[in-house]
Structure 1
Amino acid sequence: MKKQLLLAFLITASISLYSQKEANVWYFGNNAGLDFNSGNAVALNEGVLRTQEGCSSISDENGNLLFYSDGINVWTKKHELMRYSNGNLANDLQGNPSSSQSGLIVPNPEDKNLYYIFTVGTDFIGYQPYPNNPGFKFYTIDVSKGNGGEVISGPINLSNGRDKEWSEKVTAVQGKDCKEIWVLSIVQDTFYAYKIDKNGVDSTTPITSSSSYYLRDKRGYLKASPDGSKVALADFTNDGIGRLVLYDFDNVTGKVSSNGITLTDEPTDGSPYGVEFSQQSTKLYTSLYHENSNSFRVFQYNLLDANIAQTKTQVHQEQGYRGALQLAPNGKIYASIPDRAYLGAIENPEDNATDIQFTSNAVDLSGAMSSQGLPPFIQSFFAPVKLVNLANNEVLNNSNQIFCIGESYQIQPEKNNPNDTYTWFKERKEIAKTRILTVDNTNFGSGLYEIKIESNSYCKKTYTGKVQITFEPKPTINSIQPYIQCDFDSNPIDGFTTFNLEVLENALVNNLSEVTIDFFETYDTSFSSPINKNNYTNLTATNHSITVKVTNNATQCYQTDTINLQVNPTGLTSYSNEYIHELDQNASNPGAKFSIGTNNGFLDFSLKTQQIINNSGGSLSEITHDFQYYRTAEDASLQINQIIPPYEDDLFTNNSDVYVRISNKGAASCEAVGNFKIFVEKIPIPQGNLNNIILCVDNPRLSPQPHTTPLNADTGNVTDTYKWYLDGKLIPRETSAIYYANTTGEYKVEAYRTHPNITSLFMGYNTFFVKESNQTLIVNIKSVDDQDNPNNNKIEIVVDGIGDYEYALNSTNLSDFTKGDENFSYTFTNIPPGLNSISIRDRNGCGIVTSNQISTIYFQRHFTPNGDGHFDTWKVLGVNNNYYDVIKVQIFNRFGKLINEITDKNHSGWDGIYNGTSLPSNDYWYNAELINSNGKIRKKTGHFSLLRK
C-alpha cells in the first residue's frame, strides 16, 4: 500500500503543473477558502462569501485571485462588492446561493480582461430578491475596469422562455481548440450548449440536444470531463427516483448524445448530488446522500471499461448530508459535507477503486465551515498537457517514468504548433529549446523534466507540464557455456532434439525472482514471439543459437544475449534393473492389525548412482558429474519432473521405466543417457483372524493349562519365516507358520521374505485374537414354592466360569436356551410342580452342564368335587415322583376331627367324602410330612377350602 500511495503522489505531483492556474483559488461555504498556488491546499479565511450551496471563483493565469460569487453577489480580489458600470453594487445577480451551481465563471478565450458569469437560480424562496426561478443568465465582467473589476453588461437571458423550468446545473469545457469554450446547461430533457469565442457568448443560436432521460428534479451537479468527451449529471431527488446519468459529448459541435447511461440505483445507492471526473478523464465519481442511513457516500466508475455501470464501487461512506465533489489543480478531488471544519479528499482519483484512499479530514479550513457546494470551473483547466514517448506514443505523465541506462528516448508534448515556443527544464534549469527532447542517462539523466509551451497563436496562452524520469540499470546476464543436449529420441543421429531452456535460468541471472526471462529466435528482433522455453526443438541441426531476453520486473528494463545450443548423437545405455518391495499401507498406522500392500514402493537412487559410478571404470564420479533421474525419456530430455530426494516421495509400480541423465558438473551439457526398469515385489501377508478364536479350558482352570488351539498364518510361500508375539511380547523360538496358542490374548504374526535382488528382508503382518472359555460350574440352586399360586413357583440358579452362558429348563435343545440379563445367574418362573432340571450352555461352544432334578410341590388352596376334571380332589401336587419316598398327609375338619389320611404319593386325592357322606363347603386343615430319598423331612401345616358348586 505504501508503494501505491507513493506512486499516487508522484502521479499527482507530475500533473499539477499541467493545470491552468485560473482554478488555484477557491471560495465556498461559510467564509471558507483554499489556495493551491503552492501545489498543496492552503486554507484561506479572509473571504466574505457565505453560501448554502452554489459558489464560483476565478484567478488569472498566474494564480492570482480576480473575483468570486455566490450567484447573487460578486466580490473583488479585495473582498469588496463589485459594481456595475453605472456605479450600482453587483449584489443582485439572478443566481441563488441555494442553487447547486449558482454561478460559473468563464474567461473570454482571447481577451484576458473579459469574463462571463453564468447563473442558474432555484425554486427555493429563502433568498431575496428572486423568490422564483429566474432561469439561465449571464453577465460580462471587465477586470481592467473599476476597483478590481466591473460588471459591464447583463443579465442576458439564455433560457429561451423556459425560466421557471430551468435546472440548477451548469458546466463548461474547452472546444476544439483554445479559441472556443462551450457552456452547457440542461432543462428537463434538453441540453443547451452556448459557444464562447473571442466575440463573446453566442446567446442567440444555442446547440440543443435531446436526452432520453427526463430530469426528476433541478438539483445536483453537471460536469464535463477535462478532455471534453463526456458529460455527467446528478439528478438529486427526495423521492428515491433521482439518477446519475453519463453522456458522450462532442466538443467540436457542442452536441450531447441522446442516450445517456444510467449509473446509480436509488434508493439502494442513495440520491446523487456531486459529480466529478478524474484529471485523466478515466474515472468518474459521484457523491450521494442515503437518507435511510443518513450517510454521505462516494462511488467510482471506470470509464475505460466496456460496461461502465457494472464497475460501480463504493469507495467511501460516513455520516453526513449531501455535498459536492470538485477536481483541484493538484489532481485530487475534494469533497464537501455541510457544517464540517474540513474538506475530505480522494487522494488518488486515477487509481482503481480497490486502491482508492479517501481522507475525511484532508484540509483543515482554519475555523471556517463547509457547506454543500464547491466552486466549479471550466473543466479543461484540469486537462493535462500530455508528454509522450515518440517511439511508441506512450503517455509518460501517468506515472513516475522509468527509463533504462544505455537507451536513448525522445519526449514530446502532444501539442504541436510550429509557431509556439517550447522550452525544456530539468530541476528548474533550462536545458533545451526544442519541441522534441532527446534524453539518456549521460546527457541529462534522472530528474524532474518540465516543458513550458508559450502559444504565439491567437490564444496567447502558456502551458506547462512535467514528468519525473528515473534511469535504472539493465539486468546483468551471466556468461554460460553452450547448452549441450543428448539426442536420444526416435532418431538419435538427426541433430534435432528437445531442450528445456528453463534449466538455464538460474545460471543466467543471480536474482531470478526479480526478473522475467524469455527466449526468442535470433531473427525475432522485435521480441514478438517468445519460444516455448520448456519444450523447444532447435531449428538448425546440431548447432543453433537463440536470444535470451532478461527483463527487470520492477523497471521493465531488459538485457539480451545469445545462447548456443548443441545436439550430440547419443545412444540409450541399459543399466541393470532394480527390485524393490511394495510398501505397507498400514505402516504409519499404529493401531493397524494387518498389512495392506500398496502395489508400489520407492528406490534409493543414491545407491543406483553409486552402482553406475562403480561400473564406469573410473570415468564417472559425483564430483565431476551430475546424475539426474526421470520417469520418461521426454522428461529426461527436457529435464523436467526430476526425481529428487527424499526418494520416499516418488513411488513406482511394477515394471516402471526410469531414465538417468548424466551431465558434466555445473554445466548444461548431457554426456550420457541410460534407462532401467523397477520391479516391485509383493510383501508377504500372513493369514489372521480378527474374530475371537475360542480356547476351551477346564473349570476350574488347570495349571498348567493343557489345551491349545492352532493359529495358522501360512503365506503360501515355503521359504517365508515367521515371528510370533503375544500381547506385544516376542514368543521365543516360535518361527513356524502355525502356532498352538494355550492362553487368551492378542497374537501378532510377522512373515519375512527374502529376494535375491533385494538386500534386506521385507515383512508383512497379521493378527489373531484368542479368547478362553469353559463349561460352567453350578454354585447354587434355590427353589421357591408359592402357596397361593402354583404358577408363581420359581427356581433361581447361580453359576461360575469364564464363558458366555445361557439357560434352559428341562431341555438341551439349542432353540430352548435363553440369555439372561446376568451372565452368571438366571431365574426361572412359572415352574410346574414336580421334578425339574436346568441346563447351562456356553455360547462360545465349550459345552452344556445340566443340574440335578429339583422338586417343586404345591399344596392346593381349594378343590371343587363337581366332576369337571379341574381340582375334583385335594392333594399335594408334585410328590408323585421318585424324589420322595414317604408321604403322610392328615386332613381335619374345623373341629380338629381327622376325616382323611393320604400315605400314597400316587394317591388321587381326597374327594370330600367322609364315611360315605359328602361334606359341605367349608375350610379344612391338613398336616403333611414328606421324606425324600435322602431322608430329609419336610413338614407343612395349612388349610384349604372345599367348594361345592
Structure 2
Amino acid sequence: MNWKFLFLLLFTPFFSNAQGEANNWYFGQNAGITFNTSPPSVLTDGQLNTNEGCSSISDVNGNLLFYTDGRTVWNRNHQIMSNADYFGGNGLLGDPSSTSSGLIVPHPTNSDLYFIFTVDEPHHENAAAYPQQGPATSNGEYSDLQPGNGVPQDDDGFNNGLNYSVVDMSLNNGLGNILSTEKNIHLVTYDPNDSEEIKYQCSEKITAVKGSDCTSIWVLTHFINKFYAFKIDNTGVNTTPVISEVGPTIPISAYRRAAIGYMKVSPNGKKLIIAHNTKTYNQEGTSDVENGGVYLNNFDDNTGIVSNNIPLVENVNAYGVEFSMETKKAYATVTQGNNAKLYQWNLESNNIPNSITEITSISGFNQLNNATALQLGPDGKIYHSSIGNPKLNVINNPELDGNQVNYVTSVVDGAIPLNNREAAFGLPPFIQSIFSSRINIINDTEEIVTKLSVCGSEDVDLDYENIPGASYTWKKNDVVLSNTTSSLTVQAPSLGNSPIIETYSLSVDLNDGSCPLIGNAEITFNPFPTAEDATLTQCAVQSSPNSSIFNLTNANQSITDGDFSDGSLKVTYFPSQNEAEQNINNIQNPTNYSNISNPEQLVAKIENIETGCISYSELTISVSESSLQPLTLTSCATNDDSFAIFDLTEAEIILQQTNANFTLTFYLTQNNALTETEALTNVTNFENSSPSEQTIYARVENSGLCEGIIPVNLKVLPAVPIGKDQAITYCLENLPAPIQLSSGIPEEEKNNYTYLWQPSEKTTESIQTSEITTHTVTVTNIENGCSTIRTIKIIPSSKADFSVVNDNFQTNNTVQIIVSNESKGDYEFSIDNQFSNYQDTPIFENIASGTHTIYVKDKNGCGITTKKIVILGIRKFFTPNNDGFNDYWNIIGKESQDISSIKISIYNRFGKLLSSFNGNSRGWDGTYNGKELPSDDYWYLIERKGEKNIKGNFTLKR
C-alpha cells in the first residue's frame, strides 16, 4: 500500500513589486537583506563594503542578478565581473563615497541588457588639479580624509560626473559582464564651455522613474540649479537630456559638501524631492554649515521637465529623502542643531510645507549624529539606515499621518537585524515606479506573492479581478499566450525526479491612459518524494518471543528507495495514517521503538525538506522467534588478574557449522544488538571488561534477515601459576659446573602440567645446564590446555682482566684502568680500598705518587681482581742526619721497579753539578766531595730515554 499527499499551493510569501527587481539589497559593511521572505531577512554573502553609494538588481521573480558600489560589479555568485574590477584596473567611474554612486536600470525591451548609471563624487581637490589627476595636494592625499588615503583607494583622482555602462546577462554563462564597447559612456550634465562647471560636472544625485508611455524610463540627476533628464527607450539611452533650470542655486564653490544628498521621483512619476546638504564649502568645526534644505518639485513623466520648486525645510543639513508608495507622504532625514531628525510631509495637504511633522520612534527617536538614507521597499515600508549599527530602522505604515506610521528603531520592536553586518550612510536606489502598479495573481491577499511552490502534477489557477473594459495579456516564460481573460489555469508539466520552474506574467491594461498593472508568478512544480512500503523484521527478545526493540530508521533507505542519504528528506513515523496527516503523536524515539503487536503496521511520513512536499508509505514491523542457543567462548588469562583476549569470530565459526549463511555482529548489550547501535569493532582481539566472566550479545543474520539475538558467554580460564621471567648470572670461572633452572610451578601442583624447555627440549619441571643462552619453558595445564611461557636468560660474566695506564712525576697524577675485551662482566672500580668507594668510571685523578692497589669488581658477583701499581714521584725534601729516615734524596717508588735507565743529576743554585746517579741507586746523601752541604734548595734533572726531561727543585734540611 502506498499513499501520497499533496500541498496544493505551498506558499512561501515573496513580497515584491510586479517586477521583483528590488527584492535584494546590498549596502554598508557587507550588509544585505532580501524581501524574498516576510519580514525581510538578512543576507550575509555580500562582498560590497561601502560608506554610501550602492545599487543592486534582481530579475522579475526576485532572484539576484548583480550589484555594485559604482566602481566594481559583483554577479549573483558574488564574483567580480571581469570587465568591472576597479582595483583590477578596469572599473566603472562611480565612487562609493558618492551619495548615489550607481543606479541600475533594465533595458525597456531587451531582457538581457541592463544600464548601470554611475555618479562620481565631485571632489574639490580633483577639480583643483583639472585636467590633471588629483588630488591637488603636495603629499598626494585628500586633506578631508584619513591620513594615508588617496589614489586609487579612495578616488581615481578625477571628477567623472555621470556615465553609464551596459551589462549583458547573456555573457559568462548567464552571470553577465560589462560590454567593452558600451562602458563608461559619458553624459554631459554641465556647461562644457564653463571652465568651472567642467571641473565638477555633476552632483551626487540620481534617480529614475518610468515614463508616461509605460515603456520608457527617465534617469535624472542635478547640478547647481539644473535638472538633467535622460530618456531610455527601445533604442537605448538618449544622450541629449531634457534640462530644467529650477532653484535654489547650489553654488559650485560649495562643492563637494554641497553635492551631497539624495533625490527621488515619486512612484507615480509626478513629484520629485531633493535634499541639499549645505550651500557652504567651509565647515563650522567638524560639521557642515546647516544652510541646506529639502525641496519638492513637480515632474512631468511625459516631457521630463522638473518645475515648481517648493522649499519644505531649510537651514538644515539634508540627506535622505523618500516618497510613500502611494505618493501620499514625503519623508526626509536632516541634521538640525547637530541632531538627526526624521520629517514627514502630507502631499495631499493644501499647504505641504506647513504639514511638516517630526517622526519619533515608538521607543524614542534614536538621536544620531548624521542624517542617513531612506529607501522605499517592495513591501511598501520605508527603511532607514543606522550608521554603525547592525540593523535597519523601519517606517511600517508610511501612508499614515505623523506618528501613526509606527517608526521603529529597535530590533525588539521590528527593526531589521543584519546579523552583525553594519549599515552606513547609504541604501540602494531603484527605479521608483517599480514600487507601484503591482498586483497579486497567485491569491487574493493584500500581500504580493510572486513565487509559488506546488507538489505533484496538480493544475494551478492564476487570476486577477475582472475589470470592465480592461485588456488582459498572459505570458509564459516571456511568450504571449492566447488567453485574454482575467484568469489562467496552468497545467502541470510531466514531472520526473527534478522540479520544473515556469514563469507567468499578467499585464492588465485599464485602457484609461495609465500604465498597465503587472503581476508575476514563478511556479515551481516539485515531485513527491519517493515513498515505498517496507518491512522491518527484528529478532525477539529472549524473555518475550513476540516483542522486541526496533531501530525504525533502518527502514529509511528502503522507504525512500535509497534517496534518504542525500540529506534532502525527513522521515517521521506514526502509529496511523490519520495521525501522520495531522502530524500528531509521532514516534519520539524511532531508534529504540518497542512494538505493541506482532506484526504491527506503522506509517512513514516522508517530507522533502526543501520543497515541503510530503508522501506516505506503510512500514510493517514483525518479530521473528529464534531457536538459537547461547554460546560460550573460553580464553586463557593473559596474567593472574582474570582478563583474557577473545577471538569472537570463533562464535561465528561455531554457528556456521549449522548454517553457512549465518553472519554475526557483536554488541555489549542486548538493546544495542536489537537496535544495531555501537557494534563492537575489535572482534578478533576483544578483551573482557568484567573479571573472569562476561556476557556480550551476537546479532545473528541469515542473508540480511535477523535470525536471533544470542548471549555469548566469555569465560576466562585461570592463568598458569608460573614463575616470573628471570635473568641469572653465570661466572665463567665456574665452567663447566651446571646450574639448575626451574619453571616456578608450586611443588604441590607440578603434576598438573607438562613442560617443554628450549633449546634443550627437555620435558622435566626443572633442568640443569651450563649452556649460556636464553632458555624458555612452556608450561601447559593438562586439564584446560592453557599455556604460559617462562623465560630464563643466563648472562655470562667473569672476573676482570685489565691493565693500568698511569702518569709519573705529575703533581696530580691520573690512573686509567683498561679492561680487556675478553672480560664479560659488568665492572666497577676502586683504588686502595677493596671494600668501598667503588665507581663506574675506570679513571682516577689526583692520585699521589707511590705504590697503590687497583680493585676491579664484577657487579654480577663473579669476584674481584687486584693489581699493584707504582707512580713515580719527586721528593720535596730530605734530611740527611743519619737517623734512618729520609737520609737520601731519590725518586719515590724506585723500589718497585727497575729504573736504572733513568739518569738523575743534582745541581746547586748556581748550576754546579753536585752528583749524578741512575734511578736504582741509593740516591744523593747531601755531600759534595765528602763534605756536607748546608740546608738550601737544590735542583734536579731527570733524563729518560725517549721521553721529555724533567726539571725541578727540592730542599735539603739539616
**Contact 2:755–2:780, Cα closer than 8 Å, also in 1:** no
- 1:65 to 2:65 alignment: no
* Pair 1:622–1:203, CA change in 2 (3 A): farther
- 1:54 to 2:205 alignment: yes
**Contact 1:685–1:751, Cα closer than 8 Å, also in 2:** no
**Residue number in structure 1 paired with 2:62:** 15
**Quick one: which amino acid aligns to residue 60 of structure 1?**
G
**Paired residues, what number?**
731
**Quick one: which amino acid aligns to residue 468 of structure 1?**
E
**Contact 2:550–2:675, Cα closer than 8 Å, also in 1:** yes
Distance in 2 separating the partners of 1:134 and 1:857: 113
* Pair 1:734–1:874, CA change in 2 (3 A): same
**Residue number in structure 2 paired with 1:589:** none
| 2:934 counterpart (899, 909, 921) | 921
Identity %: 15
| 2:630 counterpart (572, 575, 594) | 575
**Contact 1:122–1:168, Cα closer than 8 Å, also in 2:** no
- 1:202 to 2:352 alignment: yes
**Contact 2:547–2:594, Cα closer than 8 Å, also in 1:** yes
**Residue number in structure 2 paired with 1:821:** 842
- 1:537 to 2:594 alignment: yes
Q: CA deviation at 1:48?
A: 2.6
**Residue number in structure 1 paired with 2:671:** 634
Distance in 2 separating the partners of 1:419 and 1:328: 32
| 1:733 counterpart (755, 761, 765) | 761
**Residue number in structure 1 paired with 2:312:** 158
**Quick one: which amino acid aligns to residue 600 of structure 2?**
H
For normalisation by structure 2, the TM-score amounts to 0.61
1:892-911 correspondence to structure 2 within 5 Å: none
**Quick one: which amino acid aligns to residue 657 of structure 1?**
T
- 1:601 to 2:645 alignment: yes
**Residue number in structure 2 paired with 1:74:** 227
**Residue number in structure 2 paired with 1:227:** 379
Q: CA deviation at 1:312?
A: 1.4
Distance in 1 separating the partners of 2:618 and 2:679: 27
**Residue number in structure 2 paired with 1:849:** 865
**Residue number in structure 2 paired with 1:106:** 265
- 1:249 to 2:380 alignment: no
**Contact 1:388–1:412, Cα closer than 8 Å, also in 2:** yes
**Quick one: which amino acid aligns to residue 315 of structure 2?**
K
**Contact 2:277–2:292, Cα closer than 8 Å, also in 1:** yes
**Quick one: which amino acid aligns to residue 848 of structure 1?**
I
Distance in 2 separating the partners of 1:206 and 1:897: 136
**What's the secondary structure of 1:846's corresponding residue?**
coil
**Contact 2:730–2:795, Cα closer than 8 Å, also in 1:** yes
**Residue number in structure 2 paired with 1:675:** 711
* Pair 1:680–1:794, CA change in 2 (3 A): closer
Q: CA deviation at 1:247?
A: 2.2
- 1:511 to 2:563 alignment: yes
1:532-931 correspondence to structure 2 within 5 Å: 532-539=589-596, 541-552=597-608, 555-567=611-623, 570=625, 574-581=629-636, 599-605=643-649, 607-612=650-655, 614=657, 621-623=659-661, 629-642=666-679, 647-648=684-685, 654-661=692-699, 665-667=703-705, 672-681=708-717, 687-688=723-724, 693-698=728-733, 705-710=735-740, 712-714=742-744, 718=750, 731-734=759-762, 742=770, 747=774, 749=776, 751=778, 753=780, 765=789, 767-777=791-801, 800=820, 801-808=823-830, 811-812=833-834, 814-817=835-838, 820-822=841-843, 829-830=847-848, 838-851=854-867, 861-863=877-879, 921=934
Q: CA deviation at 1:140?
A: 1.7
Distance in 1 separating the partners of 2:807 and 2:250: 123
| 1:452 counterpart (500, 503, 506) | 506
Per-residue deviation, residues 894-943 of structure 1 (Å, max 9, x unmatched): 99999xxxxxx9xxx9999xx9xx97836899xxxxxxxxxxxxxxxx99
Listed as ranges, the gaps of 5+ residues in structure 1 are 236-241, 262-301, 315-321, 330-376, 585-594, 616-620, 726-730, 885-891, 899-904, 926-941
**Residue number in structure 1 paired with 2:331:** 183
User: Which piece of structure 1 moves more, 90-99 or 870-879?
Assistant: 870-879
**Contact 1:448–1:466, Cα closer than 8 Å, also in 2:** no
Q: CA deviation at 1:561?
A: 1.6
**Contact 1:720–1:751, Cα closer than 8 Å, also in 2:** no
Distance in 2 separating the partners of 1:26 and 1:82: 20
* Pair 1:408–1:141, CA change in 2 (3 A): closer
Distance in 2 separating the partners of 1:762 and 1:394: 84
**Contact 1:73–1:92, Cα closer than 8 Å, also in 2:** no
**Contact 2:603–2:616, Cα closer than 8 Å, also in 1:** yes
**Contact 1:505–1:517, Cα closer than 8 Å, also in 2:** yes
Q: CA deviation at 1:204?
A: 2.1
Q: CA deviation at 1:167?
A: 1.8
Distance in 2 separating the partners of 1:924 and 1:166: 113
Q: CA deviation at 1:169?
A: 2.5
* Pair 1:682–1:781, CA change in 2 (3 A): same
Q: CA deviation at 1:206?
A: 2.0
| 1:488 counterpart (541, 544, 565) | 541
**Quick one: which amino acid aligns to residue 75 of structure 1?**
Y
* Pair 1:573–1:257, CA change in 2 (3 A): same
**Contact 2:753–2:782, Cα closer than 8 Å, also in 1:** no
Q: CA deviation at 1:205?
A: 0.8
**Quick one: which amino acid aligns to residue 599 of structure 1?**
F
**Contact 1:120–1:170, Cα closer than 8 Å, also in 2:** no
Distance in 2 separating the partners of 1:712 and 1:304: 90
* Pair 1:202–1:313, CA change in 2 (3 A): closer
* Pair 1:303–1:563, CA change in 2 (3 A): same
Distance in 2 separating the partners of 1:664 and 1:325: 68
Q: CA deviation at 1:213?
A: 4.3
* Pair 1:744–1:881, CA change in 2 (3 A): same
**Contact 1:580–1:602, Cα closer than 8 Å, also in 2:** yes
**What's the secondary structure of 1:815's corresponding residue?**
coil
Q: CA deviation at 1:578?
A: 1.8
**Contact 2:817–2:842, Cα closer than 8 Å, also in 1:** no
* Pair 1:751–1:529, CA change in 2 (3 A): farther
| 2:454 counterpart (393, 403, 408) | 403
Per-residue deviation, residues 493-539 of structure 1 (Å, max 9, x unmatched): 7x554322223334332334244432222131133453122112234
* Pair 1:737–1:171, CA change in 2 (3 A): farther
**Contact 1:67–1:74, Cα closer than 8 Å, also in 2:** no
Q: CA deviation at 1:115?
A: 3.3
**Contact 1:102–1:121, Cα closer than 8 Å, also in 2:** yes
Q: CA deviation at 1:397?
A: 4.3
Per-residue deviation, residues 396-441 of structure 1 (Å, max 9, x unmatched): 646xx6533245656678x999999876543334458456967644
**Quick one: which amino acid aligns to residue 602 of structure 1?**
F
Per-residue deviation, residues 365-388 of structure 1 (Å, max 9, x unmatched): xxxxxxxxxxxx47836x986776
| RMSD, matched Cα | 6.1
* Pair 1:821–1:170, CA change in 2 (3 A): same
Distance in 2 separating the partners of 1:248 and 1:183: 13
**Quick one: which amino acid aligns to residue 696 of structure 1?**
C
| 1:32 counterpart (163, 166, 169) | 163
Question: Which of the two has higher C-alpha Rg?
Answer: 1
**Residue number in structure 1 paired with 2:435:** 380
